[in-house]
Structure formats: structure tokens, C-alpha cells
Amino acid sequence: MKQITIGTRKSTLALIQSEMVKKYIEDHNPEVEVRLLKMKTTGDKILDRRLDQVGGKGLFVKELDKALLDSRSDLSVHSLKDLPMEVSDKLPVLAYSKRADPRDALVLPIGASELDLSKPIGTSSRRRIVQLAVLYPEARFESVRGNVQTRLNKLDAGEYGGLVLAAAGLKRLGLDNRISRYYEPEEILPAAGQGILAVQGRAGECYDYLKGFADEAGTFAAQSERSFVRELDGGCSSPIAAFARVRDSQIYLTGLYCDEEMKDVRKGEISGPADMACELGIRLAKRLREEV
């Protein structure tokens, strides 16, 4: 029996997402046995500083990439929003999943029915902060790191008035009941790739067992959103957002871009054939950059 190893972070959410890919492979390839190689990444260990202060999103994939390069694993599964924009040609993205709920969500302390703005909103994302400040001009924001359950424990202990987290992650963890409200993309544009899983592999290998996993709409959305952010050199700390809808072979991309001081915020839209996803993302990025 052919054996496949998926490299994954040890967090509960990462394991759930890797199990989704594992199940797909096994359900569609009875002759394949899949196991998980669980790793604690550098990003999981450093919790007292924002990611942009310690090396960015690459800290969540460094160990997984090394395992792929060393052939200790055959695949890695990532939340696409956490995958660095620049990916090595040696470790290409093999497939993008169907998109889950792309929205951000507000989580309140247990028992609370309204957001208490006398306490800070917990988020480490400048993308979220610049957009939340429009909705809540009087709000304060404080960084919060750790896995979802760690963040919820801090919230329920009274450290924050609320948290803003990705709805997809909460739902995959079975924590829908903690969501107090959703922020529509018109209110808060999601991170590029939010709600999409990326399966990464090694160049030159055969991955026939993944056939059918990739979702066309998810792929076009991922390509346009990531090309938009890449063109703007956006890292994990940059207040940049992108969200694409795919309908009837057309793609409708909305992007947000602002300067490093988070003062001059620009938002724009572009549409066109879905198979021009990357080009459209680049076009919109150039347009917004020239406006600032």
C-alpha cells in the first residue's frame, strides 16, 4: 500500500484541516494510506510579539518546508491566509480548496451580549485594525497571539472586550456558537485567501492522488487575491486586504491598500474573465498604489 505523509502544525485547527485533506485522499484512493507528521513551528513557539516583529508568516511554514525538502513529508496543508506570498519553485502549491466562509467574525466573552469598548478589541492584524477603526472610532486594539482556544481563554478571563477572528477557523473548530456577529466583506475585507486551504508539495513528484481536490472558483480567487497582495509587497503586517467573488466565469475583486502610517486608505474594485485572475489582481494593485 502506498504511504503518504502530510506535514502539519500541531494546533487543533491545523490538524482538523490536514485531516480534511487526508480523508479526501483516502476516500478517493483506497490503495493509499495517509499519516500526519505533526510539528510545532517557530511561529507557534513565539507568542509574546507580533509576527512582523519576529519574521512574519514564514515562521509558520519553515519547519514544514524543511520536512518537504528532506522528503520526511509529501504534502503540507496550510490556511492560505497564513502562507507567505513568495513560495519556492521547489515547493509549489498543488491545489487550492473550495472556499469556506471568508468573513471575519466578532467573538464576545461568555455571557456578554454587546461589545464592551471600555476594554480593547483583541487582534494582531493591522488589516483588521484599520477597518475596525472605521466601525468603532472609539475602540482600542491590543495584540493577541496563540491558538484560538488560548485567545478565547484570555477573552473570557476579561482581558478583552471582544476578539475578531476568521469565521472559517471558528466553524472548523465547531465554535460557531461563539460568533456574535459576522462582518460582511463590505464592512471588513478579509485577508487574501481567507477560508481557502492550500496543499503544498515537492516539485517533480507525482500527485495523481490529489486529482479532483482543487476547486476552480477557490483557485481563481486565491490567484487574484495573492497577486494583488504580492504586487504591493504585502507581508503579514501590511494593512492590505483582498477578496474575490467568482460568478459565471467572471471574477470580481475588491482590494484595500493603505500607507504604513495607516492614514491614507484606498479601496478599489476590478472585474474580468476568471482566467485572467492574476493579471486582474496586479492591475488593481497598481491602480491603488498610484492613487496613494
Output the domain CATH number for residue 117: 3.40.190.10
Q: Could you tell me if 290 and 226 lie in one domain?
A: yes
What integer pLDDT is reported at residue 59 of this predicted model?
A: 57
pLDDT digits (tens, 9 = 90+) for 40-87: 766 554 444 444 444 445 556 888 999 999 999 999 999 999 899 989
E-state strands within the chain: 2-9, 32-39, 75-79, 93-96, 104-107, 121-122, 141-142, 162-166, 179-183, 197-200, 240-247, 250-258, 265-273
Contact yes or no for 81/218 (Cβ under 8 A): no
Q: What is the DSSP letter of 1?
A: -
Residue 191 lies in a domain: no
Residue range 106-119: mean pLDDT, rounded: 97
Question: What is the number of alpha carbons within 13 Å of residue 178 lying toward its C-beta?
Answer: 27
Closest CA to 18 of 76, 80, 102: 76
Degrees (nearest 5) of the Cα angle 256, 258, 275? 30
Residue 190 lies in a domain: no
Residue 208 domain boundaries: 1-97+196-214
Q: Per the structure, how many domains does the chain have?
A: 3
Does residue 129 have a pLDDT over 60? yes
Q: Could you tell me if 246 and 286 lie in one domain?
A: yes
Q: Could you tell me if 204 and 90 lie in one domain?
A: yes
Residues present in the chain in total: 292
Query: Annotated catalytic, 82?
Result: yes
Q: Report which of residues 161 and 61 the model is more confident about.
A: 161
Q: Could you tell me if 46 and 118 lie in one domain?
A: no
Closest CA to 51 of 81, 78, 73: 81
What integer pLDDT is reported at residue 146 of this predicted model?
A: 86
Q: Could you tell me if 91 and 206 lie in one domain?
A: yes
pTM: 0.91
Cell numbers placing 39: 510539528
List 251's β-bridge partners, or say none: 246, 272
Q: Could you tell me if 155 and 16 lie in one domain?
A: no
CA torsion 178→221→132→145, rounded to 10°?
60
pLDDT digits (tens, 9 = 90+) for 233-286: 865 566 899 999 999 999 999 999 987 666 788 999 999 999 999 999 999 999
Long-range contacts of 27-32 (CB under 8 A, 24+ apart): 28/209, 28/211, 28/212, 29/2, 29/209, 31/1, 31/2, 32/1, 32/2, 32/3, 32/4, 32/209
Distance (Å, rounded) from C-alpha 20 to C-alpha 36?
12
Residue with cell 467573488: 245
Torsions phi, psi for 134 (to 5 deg)? -75, -40
Residue 189 lies in a domain: no
Residue 137 lies in a domain: yes
Q: Could you tell me if 125 and 59 lie in one domain?
A: no
What integer pLDDT is reported at residue 173 of this predicted model?
A: 97
Residue 43 lies in a domain: yes
Q: Could you tell me if 200 and 62 lie in one domain?
A: yes
Q: Which of 82, 101, 104, 215 is catalytic?
A: 82
Distance (Å, rounded) from C-alpha 5 to C-alpha 263?
46
Q: Report which of residues 197 and 233 the model is more confident about.
A: 197
Q: Could you tell me if 23 and 140 lie in one domain?
A: no
CB atoms within 10 A of CB 212: 9
Cα-Cα end-to-end distance for the chain: 57
Q: Could you tell me if 118 and 65 lie in one domain?
A: no
Helix axes 277-291, 216-231, angle to 10 degrees: 30
Distance (Å, rounded) from C-alpha 71 to C-alpha 218?
28
